[in-house]
């Protein structure tokens, strides 16, 4: 890749880790610039004007262009590699799991980790507290869908690791920080081990 | 496309409409099979076993294969067409807006439409009721990001309509059913008009 790659990130974020794991598996050099989301560093006027008007990390900077959204950034990095299948249906199926991750998985599993592990249950306001049970149930449902899917296969799409696995791995492997029990999902546990054994794998900070 | 295309859908769903609009703009024939999500027709054992283990529509059936997730289905249909840009960054930028749609837009703007227009505010339980204000604020923020982005351009990515526009159009153009005011977002209104003028455009049912 000719242009320099800079990841604007908070190292506690699984969404940021997805991009670092993708780059590591592909052997791509990636610089990082760190922000503290809990201190509002992604909501400053400068960040909103120049990095991401949506006020969120991660953002992948490619030369002088900025690409928000973790899964879009992974897609940019992985095009042309084996992390995106060549077959048309399989390629769309990778996106299917990446959209599942952002809609059914991350808002429940990542959010409970953020609320319970970083914010702390005692500090949650009433509106968040009232959602704890619904997010617990929806997160367990997402893990169950994953566990059932993996019962008959080693990877989410096709015969090797793809961006679908990377997207789902990021918050699944740290889900116990949000109160989920990985031992309830044995197929997921075996898949987590396969992911950590991939050549080039890097751990989350 | 050699294989038959069947959309498993609920016509009230903007997520289903995205796929119908994509097919229409591309001139692709698309059969439909309808389900009533409010009657639980996508949670039956048969549906979970054979159509989508996640219990949701839309699902695009391609021959005998099933592809859940609206934006993944749109991607499948549009590959090789002008709805997905050829440039690598622009292609990832289309996905950026599609992930923004599923994370920041749909869970607020589509959910308030569903709760207020189809379920009815009087029928909402306490957990949903406590989220109304947060979803209103987050939905308005998503519309503001869109309006600001469109101030300097006619389409979300590049110089012509792409899947980014289709994904964001579906629930934006009916957002007033969820209590949002389109007149607060004049750039969005002008873009909605451009969308409705596209050759092959079809309206939502």
Q: For A92, which of B53, B67, B130 is closest by C-beta distance?
A: B67
Q: Is B127 on the interface with A (CB under 8 A)?
A: yes
Both structure tokens of A144? 């169950």
**Is A177 a member of any domain?**
yes
Concatenated DSSP letters of B4-36: -EEEEE-TT-HHHHHHHHHHHHHT---EEEE--
For residues A74 and A166, membership in a common domain is answered with no
Same domain, A63 and A93: no
Mean pLDDT score of chain A, rounded to an integer? 97
Domain boundary at A78, A102, A129, which?
A78
Lookup result for tokens 């289903």: B16
Determine contact, residues B162/B156, Cβ cutoff 8 Å. yes
| Residue where one domain finishes, among candidates B78, B102, B117 | B78
pLDDT in tens, A162-186: 999 999 999 999 999 999 999 999 9
What pLDDT shows up at residue A159?
97
Q: Quick one: pLDDT at residue B1? A: 64
ipTM: 0.97
Q: Which two tokens stand for residue B64?
A: 């005998």
Q: pLDDT over 90 for what percent of chain A?
A: 97
Q: Do B100 and A134 touch (CB under 8 A)?
A: no
Q: Say yes or no: B45 and B106 in one domain.
A: no
CB < 8 Å to A70, chain B = 99
**How many structural domains does chain B have?**
2
Q: Is residue B202 part of a domain?
A: no
Question: Does residue B130 sit within a domain?
Answer: yes
**Which CATH number does the domain housing residue A152 bear?**
1.20.1050.10
Query: Minimal Cα distance from B70: which residue of A?
Result: A96
Give the distance from residue A142's alpha carbon to the nearest chain B alpha carbon, in angstroms. Answer: 8
Give how far A196 is from chain B: nearest CA, Å.
Answer: 26
Q: Give B199→chain A minimum CA distance, Å.
A: 26
What is the domain-level CATH number for residue A42? Answer: 3.40.30.10
* From A79, A96, A130, residue closest to B130, measured CB to CB: A130
Do the Cβ atoms of B76 and A53 come within 8 Å? no
Residues of B in contact with A89 (CB under 8 A): 62, 65, 67, 76
Which of A43, A78, A113 is at the close of a domain? A78
Same-domain status, B172 and B130: yes
Domain of A66 in residue numbering reads as 5-78
The dihedral over CA atoms of B185, B186, B187, B192, expressed in degrees to the nearest 10, equals 90
Residues A111 and A12 in one domain: no
**Range list of β-strands (E), A57-154:** 59-62, 65-68
pLDDT of A1 reads: 64
Q: What is the pLDDT of residues A70-89, one digit of tens each?
A: 999 999 999 999 999 999 99
């Amino acid at each position: 890749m000719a242009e320099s790659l800079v990841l604007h990130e908070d190292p506690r974020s699984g969404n940021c880790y997805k991009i670092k794991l993708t780059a590591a598996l592909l052997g791509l050099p990636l610089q990082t610039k760190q922000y503290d989301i809990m201190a509002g560093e992604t909501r400053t006027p400068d960040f909103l004007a120049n990095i991401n008007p949506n006020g969120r990390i991660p953002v992948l900077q490619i030369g002088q262009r900025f690409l928000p959204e973790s899964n879009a950034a992974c897609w940019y990095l992985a095009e042309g590699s084996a992390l995106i299948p060549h077959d048309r249906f399989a390629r769309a199926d990778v996106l299917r799991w990446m959209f599942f991750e952002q809609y059914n998985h991350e808002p429940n599993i990542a959010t409970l980790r953020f609320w319970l592990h970083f914010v702390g249950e005692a500090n949650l306001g009433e509106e968040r507290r009232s959602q704890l049970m619904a997010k617990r149930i929806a997160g367990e449902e997402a893990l169950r869908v994953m566990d059932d899917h993996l019962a008959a296969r080693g990877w989410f799409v096709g015969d090797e690791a793809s961006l679908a696995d990377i997207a789902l791995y990021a918050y699944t492997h740290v889900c116990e920080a949000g109160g989920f029990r990985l031992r309830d999902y044995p197929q997921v546990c075996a898949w987590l081990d396969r992911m950590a054994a991939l050549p080039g794998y890097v751990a989350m900070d």
